[in-house]
Structure 1
Amino acid sequence: MKVISSKAHGVMDYIIGIALVAAPWLFQFARGGAETWVPVILGIVVIVMALFTDYELGVFKITPMSTHLWIDGVLGVFLLLSPWIFGFWGFVLWPHVIVGILMAGVSLMTETTTVHIRVT
């Protein structure tokens, strides 16, 4: 069931993107390795992708919403698995796992249609 509007998803994109960039320092797991740079890079990707998505909060409106959601899902699964992929699961685990599950879940629950209001 798709219960999240594309506009609400847009708000979440910007919030999650900023939170991912700040997370290593907010939650004090910044050591300069993959545990730090995976969320920072993914946060930047989420923000840039939001800017280029064809939805209410997109600026350039190039990427279709369905493509955006597919990429969000892939990024979420990658973030979820990153502690094991890069071997930092013994140092930090839960921020990556929780936000990864959130990203993947939100991508599955978001409407693919957007509302475009034309001002004349």
Structure 2
Amino acid sequence: MRVISTRTHGVLDYLTGLLLIAAPYIFGFADGTAAQYVPQILGVLLLGASLLTDYELGVMRMIPMSVHLTMDIAMGVLLAASPWLFGFADRVFWPHLLIGLCEIAAGFMTRTTPDTVADATLRNR
């Protein structure tokens, strides 16, 4: 059930990327460990991928939307599992788990073509 448009997904990408970079400071786990660096690295990767994705908010449009969504799911799985993979779940895990699960959900729920492309394809039939 793909109910999220590619344009909305783009907005969510940029907001989530910024949230991941800022989350350690917002939620108080900016301690120079994996708890801080995993979300920040994934946030930078998400922003970079968003700039390169072939959707309305992409700048260079080199990454197909289907590849971008697969990357979102993979990064979401890594983020959600990171507290246990890297051994900091005893200190903090909720931000990583919740944002990771949201990334996974967005990856599965986003359309793979922009609405304008889908509408034009339907009109041309």
> TM class, shorter-chain normalised?
over 0.9
The superposition leaves residues 27-81 of structure 1 with CA deviations (integer Å, 9 ceiling, x where unpaired) of 1111100000000000000000000000000000000000000000000000000
Q: CA–CA distance in 2 between the matches of 1:18 and 1:113?
A: 24
Shift of residue 16, structure 1, vs aligned partner: 0.1
Aligned residues: 116
Q: CA–CA distance in 1 between the matches of 2:102 and 2:8?
A: 14
Bigger Rg, structure 1 or 2: 2
Q: TM-score, normalised by structure 1?
A: 0.95
Compare the two structures and name the one with the higher helix fraction.
2
Q: Please say if 1:36 is aligned against 2:36.
A: yes
Q: CA–CA distance in 1 between the matches of 2:14 and 2:59?
A: 12
Task: Give the gaps of 5 or more residues in structure 2.
Answer: 118-125
Q: Percent identity?
A: 48
Q: Find the counterpart in structure 1 of residue 105 from structure 2.
A: 105
Letter in 1 for 2:29: F
Q: CA–CA distance in 2 between the matches of 1:46 and 1:71?
A: 9
Structure 1 moving runs of 4+ over 6 Å: none
Task: Give the gaps of 5 or more residues in structure 1.
Answer: none
Counterparts of residues 2-81 of structure 1 (less than 5 Å): 2-81=2-81
Letter in 2 for 1:41: I
Q: TM-score, normalised by structure 2?
A: 0.91
The superposition leaves residues 69-118 of structure 1 with CA deviations (integer Å, 9 ceiling, x where unpaired) of 000000000000000000000000100000000000010000000236xx
* Pairwise CA RMSD: 0.7
